[in-house]
A and B are shown apart, each in its own frame.
Chain A
Amino acid sequence: MTLLLAIITGVLYAAGIYLMLRRSMVKVIFGLIFLGHAANLMIFTVGRLCKGAPAFVEEGAMQAVEPFADPLPQALILTAIVIGFGVQAFTIVLFKRTYRTLGTEDLDEMRSTDRLPEENP
């Protein structure tokens, strides 16, 4: 299963990067989300897989008994997912605002800073 997850992570990375190289801003945002997924899966996989054994301490016991999944990567991923969402939400709204102001989502038309396009003053 590690192999399968490694391949899926690779595919997600490839898709994320491919999307980030597009000219359409929406696709770049999709790419950003994919990179987030890929990074999370990578941390998860590299932290070793453990099927069906969440990191819980049984009722009455003082500590968890092997086998159980490593809790640390999970904690890191949780933080990453939430922050990633913050970034995504901001990017999506930023995109909306950009589109409303400039009337385009082509990144090539947004190369110059602090100047609105001539035809849309």
Chain B
Amino acid sequence: MSILLAIGFLASAIAPLLHRRFRENFGWIALIFPLSMFLGLLWHYPTVAGGMVVRESIPWVASLGVNLSFALDGLSLTFAMIITLIGAAVFLYAGAYMKEYPDAGRFFLYIGVFMTSMLGLVLSANTILLFIFWELTSISSFLLIGFNHQRESSRKSAIQALLVTGGGGLALLAGFILLREVTGSFEIADMYDMNALITAHPLYPAIVVLMLLGAFTKSAQFPFHFWLPNAMEAPTPVSAYLHSATMVKAGIYLVARMNHEIGGTPLWQDTLLATGAATMLFTSVLALGATDLKKLLAYSTLSVLGTLMLLLGIGSPLAIKAFFIYLIAHSLYKGTLFLVAGTLDHETGTRDVRRLGGLRRAMPITAATAALASFSMMGVIPLVGFIGKETVYKSILELDTWGIPLIAAAVTANAFIVMVTLLVGFRPFWGKARATPKHPHEAPLKMLLGPGLLAVLGLLFGLFPDLFISTLLDQSALSILSEKIGLKITLWHGVNMVLFLSLATLLAGGVAYRLRNALQERLDGFRAPALMKPSSWYEALVGGMLKSARLQTALLQNGYLRNYIQIVLITALSAAAYALYQAADRVRIVPDVSITFYEAALGIIIIVATWMLVTSQSRLKSIVALGVVGFSIGIIFVIYGAPDVALTTFAIETLNVILFVLVLYRLPKFVSLSSTSNRIRDAIIAGSAGLFMTMTILLATSFDLSSKLKEYYAAASVPEGRGRNIVNVILVDFRAIDTLGEITVLAIAALGVLALLKPGPEEGRRP
């Protein structure tokens, strides 16, 4: 499995190159990638269906317990097959759909990385590894939503999705780390029998909250649902793949995966149940306000994600069965309908349902595909969606207290889904033709094959549920619950309460479709205040963050050089001053050499010249003072045995003074720019910095200096360097590379000076 993933990432990396080579036919090439992975998984199918788990583990950071562990059980295989199968349809479709994009190669890179990461996510058997793949899917989703990065809305949606899912990802990581505190392992297999230990631990509530935060953000549960409709900014193949069939199911996968280990408590089940139910009902109603094909589908996806979460919350064997059927059914029909929506957009130039109609003559195959998928979505016999909805209803009806309100909510939500289906799957193709921006015609083969195949699969799964789903289902359920379900799946359950509810749903959906405008007006009547809308919480949070960043920038980086210096100085001084103060009693003044009269005079000259320079208003006087200070320092070097340094100082000071005179003599006098209070403040800062440096020197000279290097250079200078002036030998011999660097710096500075002295373009233009 690790090899499969490695190949996946590699193939993604070379996808742009291949795309440049093949262009038009790249769809077929790209198809090989998911299809071969699908076949690779199919090869394991008999093993997994037989009750075995395929495992693989490579030590990675073994000391931390982080390993490249993979496990393929029923649950993983179900998800992995959905990922690769829908991937195949989407890759082929995208080959044609993305034709007009100049940088479609980049698109295939991203979507390839996504598919591989998503596979990695469902195959991981180590929580840290799972987290890494989890974040990789978030990042590739970000790149894909923002694919049309020239559009501002695109960038905004991408960042929103990244922040919401990424934030949840961090919570998930924290949850995994807490879980490790409790169980002592990152390996999921180690935790399999620890349910009692984990649920009794005081950290358990924190673990549940953190993990569910991760799952709810990723699977767009209320109140984090708002990022998903905005993510429809992505190119349609992405919406079909990431934002309906696979990535948004990652949170649900996580809950299913960890259910056996940390589930079973009222806290876990009730949270799932309540959140799932709220998402299911609330988001389905939101679909009323949408007219964009993709937004409509997105709201129905949200509702389905809520239903799936609700089923996990119920957690009965029947509910788990419903979960799997509904999951598979939804991936098939929703993937298809998204691709159909993309085709409509591609061929007619609009995604607004109000402008589409009567297209069945121009696009007969697309119309048939859409109809097939729509029947599944509405839950019409004999498609797999019908079995899905029936089982969902049945498992809800099993509940005691909450059965009645929940079934009402489920029927309502499904009625709105039926309404969405009528709007997306039928309305564009039937009725009277409407004028569209582009002249409509049937899509190319590459854009028909994928959705067509998925729609037909929906029919086959419905007609022969035993053949396709049942065997895998038993094994999948085993990963979630510890018992086998052993329930047979059948298409026809006879005439009963559930069938009646199904019919009622269809009927209510039809009514909702007819009355949608009136309903919409009623809904507009009580617009929710901003405080109630989760998306406005997000806006406020991001806005607040930007504001505080701006404040901080304004405070710390306001463009005044002296403020930067002040901040650095005050911080450094206050941090170091305390340490110096503590060491103050260890300072002792070395009575090394007595001060002679000319040394004292030199000191006074330096201090007076410095004072002159600081206070002077005249430029010439300042330059003279600068020269005096420089030459006096040179004399100090002469006195204390450093003739080379002194010579250099004299030379450099002379050059400096000449340079200053040349540049400055034509400039006006200094003007007094700072206020007196500023001067006093600066003087205090500078004075304390000076005092601090004096104290540092005194402290440093209070200790014995045993310089091995001094002895070394004294001994090695003649034999190794062949020179008697040790300083020179060090510069040109022992540390010659340093000197070379120094010369390079001078050369660069000289080049810079040259460039600055040349007249620039703005001066050339001037008369």
Interface, chain A (partner B; CB < 8 A): 1-24, 26-28, 30, 33-34, 37-38, 40-42, 44-59, 61-64, 68-72, 74-75, 77-79, 81-90, 92-97, 99-101, 105-108, 111-112, 116
**In the bound complex, do residue A54 and residue B641 qualify as a contact, i.e. CB atoms below 8 Å apart?**
yes
A75 to B562, CA, bound (A): 32
A25 to B588, CA, bound (A): 40
**In the bound complex, do residue A3 and residue B674 qualify as a contact, i.e. CB atoms below 8 Å apart?**
no
A106 to B738, CA, bound (A): 37
**In the bound complex, do residue B697 and residue A42 qualify as a contact, i.e. CB atoms below 8 Å apart?**
yes
Q: Give the dominant DSSP class at B's interface.
A: helix
Complex contacts, B700 vs chain A, CB 8 Å: 46
| B611–chain A nearest beta-carbon distance, Å | 8
What 1/0 mask marks residues of chain B from 549 to 565 whose CB sits below 8 Å from any chain A CB? 00000000011111001
**In the bound complex, do residue B606 and residue A11 qualify as a contact, i.e. CB atoms below 8 Å apart?**
yes
- Tally inter-chain residue pairs, CB-CB below 8 A: 280
Partner of A17, one of B603, B644, B689, B717: B689
**In the bound complex, do residue A81 and residue B645 qualify as a contact, i.e. CB atoms below 8 Å apart?**
yes
**In the bound complex, do residue A86 and residue B648 qualify as a contact, i.e. CB atoms below 8 Å apart?**
no
- 20 residue pairs from A and B, CB less than 8 Å apart: A1-B593, A1-B599, A6-B701, A7-B694, A11-B610, A14-B686, A21-B562, A33-B626, A53-B641, A55-B714, A55-B725, A57-B717, A57-B726, A72-B730, A81-B649, A82-B648, A83-B745, A84-B652, A106-B673, A107-B562
A57 to B701, CA, bound (A): 26
Partner of A26, one of B561, B589, B619: B619
Q: Does B209 contact A (CB under 8 A)?
A: no
Q: Which 5 residue pairs across A and B have the least CB separation, nearest first?
A: A14-B690, A10-B694, A69-B641, A111-B559, A86-B749
A10 to B763, CA, bound (A): 43
Partner of A56, one of B566, B707, B725, B756: B725
Nearest A residue to B610 via CB reads A15
Complex contacts, A72 vs chain B, CB 8 Å: 707, 709-710, 713, 730
A106 to B81, CA, bound (A): 69
A83 to B671, CA, bound (A): 31
A1 to B559, CA, bound (A): 42
Q: Does B715 contact A (CB under 8 A)?
A: yes
Complex contacts, A58 vs chain B, CB 8 Å: 724
A93 to B756, CA, bound (A): 7
What 1/0 mask marks residues of chain B from 243 to 282 whose CB sits below 8 Å from any chain A CB? 0000000000000000000000000000000000000000
A37 to B640, CA, bound (A): 16
Chain B contact-residue range equals 35 or more
Q: A10-B694, A20-B562, A75-B730 are in contact. Are A81 and B641 (CB under 8 A)?
A: no
A21 to B569, CA, bound (A): 11
Partner of A22, one of B569, B595, B633, B673: B673
Q: A14-B686, A15-B686, A75-B730 are in contact. Are A111 and B593 (CB under 8 A)?
A: no
Nearest A residue to B660 via CB reads A92
A90 to B690, CA, bound (A): 26
Q: A82-B648, A85-B652 are in contact. Are A37 and B724 (CB under 8 A)?
A: no
Complex contacts, A90 vs chain B, CB 8 Å: 749, 752-753, 756
